[in-house]
């Protein structure tokens, strides 16, 4: 092991990929070393916006980049399985944006592959690392046995059938997106 920052490769160039690139700049543990997109132009624009030195016009090129230590999969939901598999097959540890996969069969496939290759694989469930969630975990033992929890989540979006959140085939909706 080394104390050098992890060199991240970001697979995808959407909004969550941009948020990850910005947030990683606030740490000392990692740097964005490369980005991969379906197109060279997409990779160039994203890399210019986030000052990323290496740009790949394909996910395959990013997965094969020897200067990338770990891959963050931030592609559209239905692509998570294939993209994570691509990175694992290239020998890279992988952090997959939610939802991990579109179904249990795909999830089992990735877990089996990661175990076979002895590689780290995790869903990017950032909520568990938020300060208020950590504080709640500290408070819970003082409360005794918790038998019921009621929670609500509300968020408004303009109804647009083409928008990812309203398209089940894209993994949108409460089950695979907002509700996670």
Catalytic residues: 98
CB 110 within 8 A of CB 88: yes
CA distances from 25 to 47, 99, 113, 117, 153 (A): 14, 24, 30, 29, 30
> From CA 123, how far away is CA 98, in angstroms rounded?
6
Cβ neighbours for 180, distance < 8 A, ≥ 6 positions apart: 98, 99, 125
- Structure tokens, 136: 């709640």
């Amino acid at each position: 092991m080394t104390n050098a920052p992890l060199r991240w490769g970001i697979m995808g160039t959407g909004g969550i990929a941009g948020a990850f690139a910005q947030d990683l700049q606030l740490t000392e543990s990692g740097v964005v070393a490369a980005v991969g997109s379906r197109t060279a132009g997409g990779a160039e624009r994203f890399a210019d916006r986030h000052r990323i030195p290496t740009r790949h016009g394909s996910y395959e090129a990013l997965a094969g980049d020897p200067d990338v230590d770990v891959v963050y999969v931030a592609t559209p939901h239905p692509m998570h399985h294939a993209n994570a598999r691509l990175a694992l097959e290239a020998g890279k540890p992988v952090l997959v944006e939610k939802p991990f996969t579109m179904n249990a069969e795909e999830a089992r496939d990735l877990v089996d592959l990661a175990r076979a290759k002895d590689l780290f694989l995790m869903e990017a469930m950032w909520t568990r690392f938020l300060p208020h969630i950590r504080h709640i975990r500290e408070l819970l033992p003082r409360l005794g046995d918790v038998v019921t929890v009621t929670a609500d989540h509300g968020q408004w979006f303009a109804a647009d059938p083409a928008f990812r959140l309203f398209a089940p085939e894209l993994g949108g909706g409460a089950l695979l997106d907002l509700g996670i």
